[in-house]
Amino acid sequence: MKLIIAIIKDEDNDAVSRSLTREKFRVTFIASTGGFLRSGRSTLLIGVEDDQVDKALDVIRKNCKKPGESKEKRATIFVLNVNQFTQL
């Protein structure tokens, strides 16, 4: 089990979250800010089986708009090992 923490731009959140949900990923959304100007970021928590990490990253990649002139990254993604996973 892995926990994906994806930090994306607010404007990409709708497309990314809908696409992840459509593909049966469970997404938790946290409002956040980042960057020099503290602009809006969406921090997504996504718990996935190990063999689903690539698919989830692919969905995120395809649904983030390409960076424009700005050098700012469109998404920063951390994949963490999960020691124990429980659902109630």
The residues binding its own copies (CB under 8 A) are: 1-3, 5, 7, 21, 26-36, 38, 41, 43, 45, 47, 53, 57, 60-61, 64, 67, 73-88
SS3 call for 88: coil
Q: Residues 47-62, buried b or exposed e (16+ Cβ, 10 A)?
A: bbeeebeeebbebbee
Q: Looking at beta carbons only, is 19 or 43 nearer to its own copies? A: 43
**Distance of closest approach, residue 64 Cβ to its own copies, in angstroms:** 6
Q: Looking at beta carbons only, is 29 or 49 nearer to its own copies? A: 29
**Distance of closest approach, residue 74 Cβ to its own copies, in angstroms:** 5
Residues 42/30, Cβ–Cβ less than 8 Å:
yes
Strand partners, 43: 7, 30
**Distance of closest approach, residue 45 Cβ to its own copies, in angstroms:** 7
Residues 10/42, Cβ–Cβ less than 8 Å:
yes
The two tokens of residue 18 are 């809908």
Q: Looking at beta carbons only, is 70 or 86 nearer to its own copies? A: 86
